[in-house]
């Protein structure tokens, strides 16, 4: 097996289109033994770019996100990832023993003294009033917004969103999507959103990437201006294209493809 | 009846129930108790038992030599107080239990944290500790007497031994029980190991750690009782031994009740500490 070569730091990446890349993957592969999860992925995301990653369960979405968030190493290839990267997970992952504001600054060693900064971040997600609450007293939508505030607090160059709205009801979900768009517009990080929801990806992203069989099957630009109308002809044309791509995705490359392993997981 | 659906629904009688709701009417399910009534209910059974106990003494159902009544016990306390025995014994016993709990608990805490955080530490000493744990510590008394003599050292050593394991086990399990997903947050956000321990691990493990200390306080008291059976020259155990020699059942019962009272106080103190340290866990009253 070849030695994984994963590098952090965007400093050595030449600007492209005048904007720095926050993710650059060159032939990134991941395998567990003989089972190939990711097969020579090439992907570049720039600052200020909103990319959605679509694909059925078992196509390696979660693995890719875990590599980008340094939770896993790739098997081969090269990854250049922005140092300041924040993740919003599927579940809020708040420390229930710490008050909301402390959860926001948790990732800052000087946690004690950063209360005003925490309050600023909470204000951006509209939860200033909950700063002194305990996480268990938050609703699901509020907890995810605290997760967003925690991610923003680091002023990330790259924001990774792992199906952050999956567990929310339709109404709360729409409000959270609007919030993410606003925060993205205000702060301009590169965003990679992993989702199962085609409509969500088209509402939010500049580019929709369809992952299938461990490689990038399609990279579809979404150019219509925001806010987007889900009933417009434009929108539905792109939606049909994405759905067509998704229907081509074979859930697994071969009968013994690792996809089988991941069905129980949240890929 | 008019059709509400165009799907063929097989006929079936539907049984329903109906209730009238009237907010003005008092709720019946959960009667709101006055605090006086609440307290009365709580002390009813203990008070009745004590009254029965006194009655059995006054009516000579049980010989005073076998079980003296509550009033005789109060007299015994008065006697112990006037001779100064009680005032002399309590601090000594409390000191033994306190030192033993503090040293044993601290050792258990350090070992538990290390084993929880580092696999190397766990591999090094978890198995031997688990083996030692299975020995009932009271069985160690004869050995402790041989090792440490019949003085204070063997008594405190026994209490230390009794306190280590509850704290060790609960601390270790509390740390291992932390959701790995929370620890992943620390990794993705590049928190240092020390920050993760301070802001995530310790706060999240605190409930388990405190359970360990509460257990340890209980076993320390048990250790105290057992240790004070060894040739006590002072302390509550000494009062009990002396009373035993003179067949003073009233003083024996008085001594036993002091142990019980100490257990109660220790439990109250530990609950207070838990409330102070775990505000985020504020337990709710049932129903």
Does B192 sit within 8 Å of A71, measured CB to CB? no
Model pLDDT for residues B100-148, shown as the tens digit of each residue: 999 999 999 999 999 999 999 999 999 999 999 999 988 989 999 999 9
Count the residues in chain B: 287
Is the pLDDT reported for residue A10 higher than 80?
no
In chain A, which residue's Cα lies nearest the Cα of B187? A71
Out of A71, A99, A134, closest to residue B184 by CB: A71
Q: Is B193 on the interface with A (CB under 8 A)?
A: no
CA-closest candidate to residue B221, choices B145, B166, B169, B276: B166
Nearest CA of chain A to the CA of B175: how many Å? 14
- DSSP-based three-state secondary structure for B95: helix
List the one residue out of A199, A163, A204 whose CA is nearest residue A184. A204
Compute the mean pLDDT over every residue in chain B, rounded to the nearest whole number.
Answer: 89
pLDDT at B166: 96
Under an 8 A CB cutoff, do B182 and A71 touch? no
Domain residue spans in chain B?
95-236+260-277
Kindly state whether B177 is in contact with chain A, defined as any CB-CB distance less than 8 angstroms.
Answer: no
Which of the four pLDDT bands, split at 50, 70 and 90, describes residue A108?
Answer: confident
Pick the residue from chain B with its C-alpha nearest to A136.
B280
Token reading at B274: 């838990």
> Which residues of chain B neighbour A266 with C-beta distances below 8 Å?
none
Residue A6's pLDDT is 44
Q: Which residues of A30-61 are buried (b: 16+ CB within 10 A; e: fewer)?
A: bbeeebbbbbebebbbbbbbbbbbbbbebbbb
Residues B117, B175: contact at Cβ < 8 Å? yes
Contact A93/B188, CB-based, under 8 Å? Answer: no
| Spatial CB neighbours of A29, under 8 Å, sequence gap ≥ 6 | A36, A38, A39, A40, A41, A74, A75, A76, A77
Other CB atoms within 10 A of residue B216 CB: 29
Band of residue B6 on the pLDDT scale cut at 50, 70, 90: confident
B181 at interface of A, judged by CB pairs closer than 8 A: yes
Residue B126: predicted pLDDT? 94
Give the list of residues 6+ apart from residue B160 with CB closer than 8 angstroms, or none. B100, B103, B104, B107
pLDDT mean over B170-186: 95
To the nearest whole number, what is the mean pLDDT of chain A?
84
- Residues A208 and A230: their CA atoms lie apart, in Å, by 16
Average pLDDT (B5-24) is 83
Q: CB contact, 8 Å: A133 with chain B?
A: no
B195 touches chain A (CB under 8 A): yes
Instruction: Give residue B253's pLDDT.
Output: 94
Q: Which of B188, B191, B203 sits opposite A98 (nearest CB)?
A: B203
pLDDT for the residue A166: 84
Q: What percent of chain B has pLDDT over 70?
A: 94
3-state secondary structure of A93: coil
Helix axis angle, B141-148 relative to B152-176, nearest 10°? 120
Q: Which CATH architecture has domain B95-236+260-277?
A: Orthogonal Bundle (1.10)
Query: What pLDDT, in 10s, does the model give residues A147-191?
Result: 999 999 988 999 999 999 888 898 989 999 999 999 999 999 999
**Residue B189 near chain A (CB below 8 Å):** yes
Q: Which residues of A117-130 are buried (b: 16+ CB within 10 A; e: fewer)?
A: ebbebbebbebbeb
Q: How confident is residue B224, by pLDDT bands cut at 50, 70 and 90?
A: very high
> In chain A, which residues have their Cβ closer than 8 Å to the Cβ of B190?
70, 107
Q: What pLDDT shows up at residue B20?
A: 83
Proportion of chain A above pLDDT 70, given as a percent: 85
Work out the number of other CB atoms within 10 angstroms of the CB of residue A159: 27
> Is B34 a residue whose pLDDT tops 80?
no
At B245-266, the pLDDT tens digits run: 999 999 999 999 999 999 999 9
Nearest residue, CB atoms, B204 vs list A91, A95, A102: A95
A96 touches chain B (CB under 8 A): yes
Q: Is A87 on the interface with B (CB under 8 A)?
A: yes
Contact B155, B221 (CB under 8 A): no
- Give the model confidence (pLDDT) of A215-224 as tens digits: 899 999 999 8
């Amino acid at each position: 097996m070849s030695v994984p070569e994963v590098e952090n730091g965007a400093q050595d990446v030449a600007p492209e289109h005048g904007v720095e890349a926050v993710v650059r993957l060159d032939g990134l592969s991941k395998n567990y033994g003989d089972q190939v999860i990711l097969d020579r992925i090439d992907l570049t995301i720039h600052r200020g770019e909103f990319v959605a990653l679509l694909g059925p369960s078992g196509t390696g979405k979660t693995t890719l996100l875990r590599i980008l968030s340094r939770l896993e190493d790739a098997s081969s290839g090269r990854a250049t990832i922005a140092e300041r990267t924040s993740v919003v997970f599927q579940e809020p992952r708040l420390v229930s023993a710490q008050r909301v504001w402390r959860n926001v600054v948790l990732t800052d060693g000087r946690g004690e003294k950063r209360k005003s900064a925490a309050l600023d971040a909470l204000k951006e997600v509209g939860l200033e009033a909950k700063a002194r609450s305990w996480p268990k007293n938050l609703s699901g939508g509020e907890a995810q917004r605290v997760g967003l505030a925690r991610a923003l607090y680091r002023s990330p160059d790259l924001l990774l969103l792992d199906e952050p709205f999956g567990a929310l009801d339709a109404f709360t979900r729409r409000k959270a999507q609007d919030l993410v768009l606003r925060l993205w517009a205000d702060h301009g990080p590169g965003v990679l959103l992993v989702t199962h929801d085609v409509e969500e990806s088209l509402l939010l992203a500049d580019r929709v990437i369809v992952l299938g069989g461990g490689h990038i099957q399609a990279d579809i630009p979404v150019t219509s201006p925001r806010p987007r109308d889900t009933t417009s002809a434009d929108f539905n044309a792109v939606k049909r294209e994405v759905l067509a791509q998704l229907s081509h995705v074979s859930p697994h490359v071969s009968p013994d493809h690792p996809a089988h392993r991941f069905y129980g997981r949240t890929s | 009846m008019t059709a509400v659906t165009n799907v063929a629904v097989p006929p079936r009688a539907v049984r329903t129930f109906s209730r009238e709701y009237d907010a003005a009417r008092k709720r019946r399910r959960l009667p709101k108790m006055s605090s006086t009534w609440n307290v009365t209910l709580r002390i009813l059974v203990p008070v009745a038992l004590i009254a029965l106990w006194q009655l059995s003494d006054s009516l000579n159902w049980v010989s005073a030599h076998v079980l003296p009544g509550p009033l005789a016990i109060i007299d015994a306390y008065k006697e112990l107080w006037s001779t100064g025995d009680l005032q002399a014994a309590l601090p000594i016993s409390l000191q033994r239990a306190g030192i033993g709990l503090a040293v044993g608990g601290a050792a258990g805490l350090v070992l538990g944290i290390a084993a929880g955080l580092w696999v190397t530490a766990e591999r090094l000493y978890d198995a031997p500790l688990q083996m030692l744990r299975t020995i009932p510590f009271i069985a160690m008394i004869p050995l402790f007497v041989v090792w440490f003599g019949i003085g204070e050292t063997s008594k405190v050593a026994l209490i230390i031994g009794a306190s280590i394991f509850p704290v060790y086990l609960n601390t270790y399990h509390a740390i291992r029980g932390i959701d790995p997903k929370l620890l992943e947050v620390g990794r993705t956000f590049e928190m240092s190991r020390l920050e993760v321990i301070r802001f995530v691990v310790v706060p999240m493990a605190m409930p388990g750690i405190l359970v360990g200390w509460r257990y340890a306080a209980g076993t320390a008291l048990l250790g105290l009782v057992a240790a004070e059976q060894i040739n006590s020259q002072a302390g509550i155990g000494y009062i009990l031994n002396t009373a035993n020699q003179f067949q003073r059942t009233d003083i024996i019962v008085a001594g036993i009740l002091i142990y019980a009272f100490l257990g109660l106080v220790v439990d109250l103190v530990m609950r207070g500490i838990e409330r102070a340290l775990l505000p985020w866990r504020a337990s709710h009253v049932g129903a």
